[in-house]
Structure 1
Amino acid sequence: MTIETDEDVAGLQRIGGIVSLILQRMLESAAPGMTTRDLDRIGERLLAEYGARSAPKLTYGFPGATCISINEQAAHGIPGDRIIQAGDVLNVDVSAELGGYFADTGGTTVILPTTPLKTRLCHATRIALTEAMKNARAGLPINGIGAAIERTAKKYGFRVIENLGSHGVGRALHEEPEHIPGYFDPSDQRILEEGMVITIEPFLSTKSRVVAEEADGWTLSGAKGNLSAQYEHTMIITTGAPLVVTRH
């Protein structure tokens, strides 16, 4: 999507604020003994309260209101009977539609107690998002986003999950530009344009460079023992710093 009117900006900010608030509520509510289904119901209830619709359910028929992934699961985890336990690395991804506009956000937390490795993983992934956003300006190459993420991952001793990445969003959950890699791809000649609406979502991991689909047909997981983190914002590209619509 490319911004055309002030109404477009307002619509994105409206749904962006909603998914951001829901993400924060879910991360704050996560506790040992809950199932991921219990946590998803919090998101489902809040979406209904705001009149928003779950984007993965609306777009793909996903069997949950939100995506909840734990430890070896990097993305698209189905809410279910899995019990959240102390020490888990928990990722929540919330995307939704309201009034024809879509926004997408995500975040990771460690269910206490944490470890130095888990804390560093989350910190590094947040820094990767911040650094990538510095390269998200009109006229700059799209591959600068992945270069910043890859550089940050190496600095902190982590890997980038290469088959997960950022993407266009706005009038649909996934739009052009499709798959913005989280690593530097010199063959990618695309340029960021003013008004373009995209997500940036670095996926950093302790072991895996790729993830594979589990038998459930949705969940994407790394190697046994792998841990990963993801943080995500939806933003509008400008000639200066991007306008983040999912900042709570």
Structure 2
Amino acid sequence: MEVRVPSMELHRSPPFLSGGRGKFFLHKPFLVQAKRLEGLEKANKRSRGTQSSEEVKKRAPLTRGTVSPPLPVPGHITQPPYVGKKDTPEIASEIQMHDKVSIVHMKAACELAARVLEHAGTLVKPSVTTDEIDKAVHKMIIDAGAYPSPLGYGGFPKSVCTSVNECMCHGIPDSRELQDGDIINIDVTVYLNGYHGDTSKTFLCGEVDDASKRLVRVTEECMLRAISACKHGTSFKKIGRRISEHAERHGFSVVECFVGHGVGRIFHSEPIIYHQRNNGPGQMVEGQTFTIEPILSMGSIECDMWDDGWTAVTTDGSLAAQFEHTILITKTGAEILTKC
């Protein structure tokens, strides 16, 4: 999940962390349907270089369904400190470092998050509702003795984020049924034994057109290329450069208003991970954990926020995809903790 923080580079507008709203959050009105349809038409006509013959399947604009009440969590399960508080927590300034003991706990939380995400992906099919996915995720997490981190974070009402088609991130599960040809990002975070494990993946629903498949594939490649550049002493800005180079090579845009973050005992902390080219300071340190979670768009990288305060959609209705891993920095590289 994401929170808004001051910009670190080039006078760009302040980004959000992938997973919350933040104290500078501004509500924006619901986009009119005509604007979204216009964006889809533009996306259909965009050049794709060597794959310019690809066409994006025309879809109806994303609509909201009925949001059911939050699911209960048994009293014996430890809750994060932000649960029950109205305000969204600020980004913690501390860098979350780990010793041998805390790494064991961190790995356990991340391993559970990865298993939950893979199970959620098996549920993605036409006619399934995102609310059904939320219920399945919630049950699997509490059955493991963990807490679903999104639930109650700054008032978020569900246990997982489900972002469909033009939704960049933070989609709230509801009664809307998935359609054949949709793409959906499922963002799972669990809180186990005092540690958060955070991961997400974009899944294909039914028969998906080639252009959308390519967006999803390239987004995952961007994330993995960024991770491969990480090790002790490497500049954080190398992450954005790796992602931007690969995305641009394939004709996609990197969303700049959402970023990765430190994760561990605290859900969101420094360092802030920018996914686009930037001049941000800082170097990676052995023993720290953070997320890399790029969002790529077929069109606009600007977002509009629904009046639920969470759902972020592309301003032109073009498709967006996201992938996320939690990684541990080592002397020689980076260990993916949320890899199944």
With normalisation by structure 2, the TM-score equals: 0.70
The separation in 2 between residues aligned to 1:5 and 1:247, in whole angstroms, is 20
Instruction: Deviation per CA, 1:116-143: give whole Å up to 9, x if none.
Output: 1011101101110111012211111101
Residue of structure 2 aligned with 1:104, choices 176, 179, 198:
198
Q: Unpaired runs of 5+ in structure 1?
A: none
Q: Tell me by how many angstroms 1:238 deviates.
A: 1.1
Q: Tell me by how many angstroms 1:51 deviates.
A: 0.9
Residue of structure 2 aligned with 1:162, choices 247, 250, 256:
256
Native 8 Å contact 1:16 1:234 kept in 2: yes
Q: Are residues 1:62 and 2:156 paired?
A: yes
Q: Which residue is 2:107 aligned to?
A: 13
Q: Are residues 1:229 and 2:316 paired?
A: no
Q: Are residues 1:245 and 2:319 paired?
A: no
The separation in 2 between residues aligned to 1:39 and 1:94, in whole angstroms, is 11
Native 8 Å contact 1:203 1:230 kept in 2: yes
Q: Tell me by how many angstroms 1:155 deviates.
A: 1.1
Q: What is the RMSD computed on CA atoms of the aligned residues?
A: 1.2
Q: Which residue is 1:150 aligned to?
A: 244
The separation in 1 between residues aligned to 2:153 and 2:287, in whole angstroms, is 24
The separation in 1 between residues aligned to 2:98 and 2:174, in whole angstroms, is 40
Residue of structure 1 aligned with 2:185, choices 84, 91, 94:
91
Secondary structure at 2:300 match in 1: coil
Q: Are residues 1:174 and 2:268 paired?
A: yes
Q: Which residue is 1:201 aligned to?
A: 293
Q: Which residue is 2:127 aligned to?
A: 33
Q: Tell me by how many angstroms 1:58 deviates.
A: 4.4
Q: Tell me by how many angstroms 1:112 deviates.
A: 1.7
Q: Tell me by how many angstroms 1:219 deviates.
A: 0.7
Residue of structure 2 aligned with 1:47, choices 127, 141, 145:
141
Secondary structure at 1:56 match in 2: coil
The structure with more helix, counted as a fraction of residues: 1
Q: Unpaired runs of 5+ in structure 2?
A: 1-94
The separation in 1 between residues aligned to 2:98 and 2:292, in whole angstroms, is 21
Secondary structure at 1:128 match in 2: helix
The 1:12/1:58 distance shift into structure 2, 3 A limit, reads farther
Query: After the TM superposition, which of the residue ranges 55-64 and 212-221 deviates more from structure 2?
Result: 55-64
Q: Tell me by how many angstroms 1:161 deviates.
A: 0.6
Residue of structure 2 aligned with 1:81, choices 175, 185, 197:
175
Native 8 Å contact 2:232 2:333 kept in 1: no
Q: Percentage identity across aligned positions? A: 31
**Matched length:** 246
